[in-house]
């Protein structure tokens, strides 16, 4: 059986940066990817805007991925494509035994550490309880993007988009460019879910209307979508009777949220965070099960790939260093935050440059985000504007949290 220091599962942006970083540290690594090409979802993201923070330029998804895959050639990383992990066992003496299927058969490999970079999946029509007929023509935005950009086929000619998540906005533009009519983007919330730049560049520039506080309640058409019923919703997101309207279309595209893929993590007994739906981690992105790390969208859904790559590197650094015994304390965030990653700090390890990602729970202006340790402010930064679609990143020195009784607090202040 082959032996590795680190096995990275998932060859998207998080996994690529993680495996390259670990390789650079001289570790023997294996990258397991379930598809036939590396790059993950970047392969189908042919729009630009990737890498502004990391490379200082606007790249397309495939170009961004290429920056990493190019480096693989000169590395010692072993890559196994078309490979699907079916089982992971852990024994104190052998470390992890990873079983995976590939075109050569059933393979097994052992390693000391595992980095999960399995990405995320899209919420489906059923999860948001869209009712009605079940004809063809209802796609998640990612599936529609795959069909248009990778297969080169049109999923619809007259589209309605439900949800103002970024992929939905990008697909509104993409479908318009390919000759489809986008009737409108409908968002149940009273504010858009996507980044402001996408609202401008994908909707406003193409005169595509955005209808807030409106949702799709029913699909009509038992063979192919013929129309959808839209309906206004109240503050509790419940449809308002009497506001139903039928919109003719042949396609409904759903951009209603992403969920970290945690099948492997769950099978390994990794504890998840109810808010992020990804694992609970410390500053090294090590999960509550020692030796298992998590990064990228499998950890929490990011809005910029640059941060995904960064988290891959953080996980790789964490998995490359040897440490004995963790002592974990919580970062306690107030209700103004929808979540923070990491959720825990290992006080037995370096924490002077802890990268903290967070999202605000609501849209707020002129707020200070502060970190307190035992009541003492160790970090404070003013934000002119915070909104849930925009993930924030701060670097904080948490060295003064020294005992298991230390209290680290994340607060939003005026």
Residues 168 to 187 in contact with another protein, rule: CB under 8 A = 177-179
Residues 81 to 110 in contact with another protein, rule: CB under 8 A = 82, 84, 86, 99, 101-106
- Sole binder of another protein in the list 57, 94, 151, 330 (CB under 8 A): 151
| Nearer to another protein (CB atom), residue 155 or residue 318 | 155
* By the rule CB under 8 A, 248 interacts with another protein: no
* By the rule CB under 8 A, 222 interacts with another protein: yes
- Sole binder of another protein in the list 146, 243, 338, 402 (CB under 8 A): 146
Q: Which are the contacts of 144, defined by CB distance < 8 A and separation ≥ 6?
A: 155, 156, 171, 175, 251, 253
Q: How far is the CB of 33 from another protein (least distance, A)?
A: 12
| Nearer to another protein (CB atom), residue 140 or residue 360 | 140
Q: How far is the CB of 298 from another protein (least distance, A)?
A: 13
| Nearer to another protein (CB atom), residue 34 or residue 54 | 34
| Nearer to another protein (CB atom), residue 117 or residue 210 | 117
SS (H, E, C) 209-270: CEEECEEEEEEECCCECCEEEEEEECCCCCECCCCCEEEECCEEEECCCEEECCHHHHHCCC
Q: Among the candidate windows 79-87, 202-210, 294-302, 400-408, which touches another protein by CB under 8 A?
A: 79-87
**Cα atoms in the 13 Å half-sphere on the side-chain side of 263:** 10
Exposed/middle/buried for 383, CB within 10 Å: 0-12, 13-18, 19+?
middle
| Nearer to another protein (CB atom), residue 55 or residue 84 | 84
In whole angstroms, what is the distance from residue 306 CA to residue 197 CA? 16
325: alpha, beta or left? (left if phi > 0; alpha if psi -120 to 50):
left
| Nearer to another protein (CB atom), residue 74 or residue 126 | 126
Would you state the structure tokens that stand for residue 73, as one six-digit string?
A: 């050639």
Q: Among the candidate windows 151-159, 188-196, 199-207, 350-358, which touches another protein by CB under 8 A?
A: 151-159
The 8-class DSSP code of residue 206 comes to G
- Sole binder of another protein in the list 37, 58, 197, 224 (CB under 8 A): 224
Q: How far is CA 403 from CA 163, 330, 348, 407, 408, in A?
A: 45, 12, 9, 9, 11
| Nearer to another protein (CB atom), residue 116 or residue 396 | 116
| Nearer to another protein (CB atom), residue 231 or residue 412 | 231
* By the rule CB under 8 A, 156 interacts with another protein: yes
In whole angstroms, what is the distance from residue 213 CA to residue 368 CA? 29
* By the rule CB under 8 A, 266 interacts with another protein: yes
* By the rule CB under 8 A, 247 interacts with another protein: no
Residues 274 to 333 in contact with another protein, rule: CB under 8 A = none
Question: Number of residues in contact with another protein, rule: CB under 8 A?
Answer: 52
Q: Which are the contacts of 238, defined by CB distance < 8 A and separation ≥ 6?
A: none
- Sole binder of another protein in the list 17, 29, 80, 140 (CB under 8 A): 140
* By the rule CB under 8 A, 143 interacts with another protein: yes
* By the rule CB under 8 A, 129 interacts with another protein: yes
CB < 8 Å & 24+ apart, contacts of 362-369: 362/336, 362/387, 362/388, 363/191, 363/387, 363/388, 364/336, 364/412, 366/414, 367/336, 367/412, 367/413, 367/414, 368/412, 368/413, 368/414, 369/394, 369/410, 369/411, 369/412, 369/413
In whole angstroms, what is the distance from residue 160 CA to residue 182 CA? 6
| Nearer to another protein (CB atom), residue 136 or residue 378 | 136
Q: How far is CA 78 from CA 4, 5, 29, 32, 373, in A?
A: 10, 12, 6, 9, 43
* By the rule CB under 8 A, 132 interacts with another protein: yes
* By the rule CB under 8 A, 133 interacts with another protein: yes
Residues near another protein, by CB under 8 A? 34, 82, 84, 86, 99, 101-106, 121-122, 124-127, 129, 131-137, 139-140, 142-143, 146-148, 150-157, 177-179, 217-219, 222-224, 250, 263, 266
């Amino acid at each position: 059986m082959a032996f590795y220091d680190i096995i990275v599962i998932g060859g998207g942006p998080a996994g690529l940066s993680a495996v390259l970083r670990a390789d650079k540290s001289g570790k023997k690594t294996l990258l397991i990817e379930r598809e036939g090409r590396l790059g993950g979802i970047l392969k189908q993201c042919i729009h630009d805007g990737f890498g502004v923070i990391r490379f200082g330029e606007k790249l397309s998804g495939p170009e961004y991925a290429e920056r990493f895959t190019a480096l693989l050639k000169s590395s010692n990383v072993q890559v196994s494509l078309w490979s699907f992990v079916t089982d992971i066992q852990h024994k104190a003496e052998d470390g992890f035994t990873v079983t995976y299927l590939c075109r050569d058969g059933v393979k097994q490999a052992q390693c000391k550490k595992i980095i999960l970079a399995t990405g995320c999946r899209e919420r489906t029509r059923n999860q948001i309880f869209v009712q009605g007929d079940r004809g063809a023509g209802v796609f998640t935005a990612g599936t529609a993007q795959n069909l248009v950009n990778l297969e080169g086929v049109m999923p619809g000619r007259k589209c309605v988009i439900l949800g103002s998540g970024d992929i939905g906005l990008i697909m509104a533009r993409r479908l318009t460019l390919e000759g489809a009519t986008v009737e409108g983007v409908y968002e149940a919330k009273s504010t858009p879910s996507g980044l402001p730049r996408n609202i401008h560049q994908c909707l406003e520039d193409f005169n595509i209307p955005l209808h807030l506080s409106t949702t799709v309640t029913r699909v009509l058409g038992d063979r192919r979508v013929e129309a959808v019923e839209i309906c206004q919703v109240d503050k509790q997101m419940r449809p308002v009777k009497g506001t139903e309207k039928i919109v003719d279309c042949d396609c409904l595209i759903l951009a209603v949220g992403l969920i970290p893929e945690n099948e492997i993590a769950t099978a390994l007994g990794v504890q998840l965070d109810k808010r992020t739906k990804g694992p609970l981690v410390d500053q090294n992105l090590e999960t509550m099960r020692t030796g298992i790390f998590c990064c990228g969208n499998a950890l929490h859904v990011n809005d910029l790939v640059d941060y995904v790559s960064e988290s891959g590197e953080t996980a790789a650094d964490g998995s490359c260093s040897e440490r004995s015994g963790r002592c974990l304390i919580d970062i306690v965030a107030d209700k103004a935050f929808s979540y923070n990653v990491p959720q825990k700090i290992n006080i037995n390890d370096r924490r002077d440059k802890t990268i903290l990602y967070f999202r605000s729970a609501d849209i707020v202006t002129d707020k200070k985000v502060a970190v307190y340790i035992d009541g003492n402010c160790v970090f404070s930064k003013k934000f002119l504007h915070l909104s849930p679609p925009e993930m924030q990143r701060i670097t904080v020195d948490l060295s003064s949290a020294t005992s298991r009784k230390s209290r680290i607090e994340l607060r939003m202040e005026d």
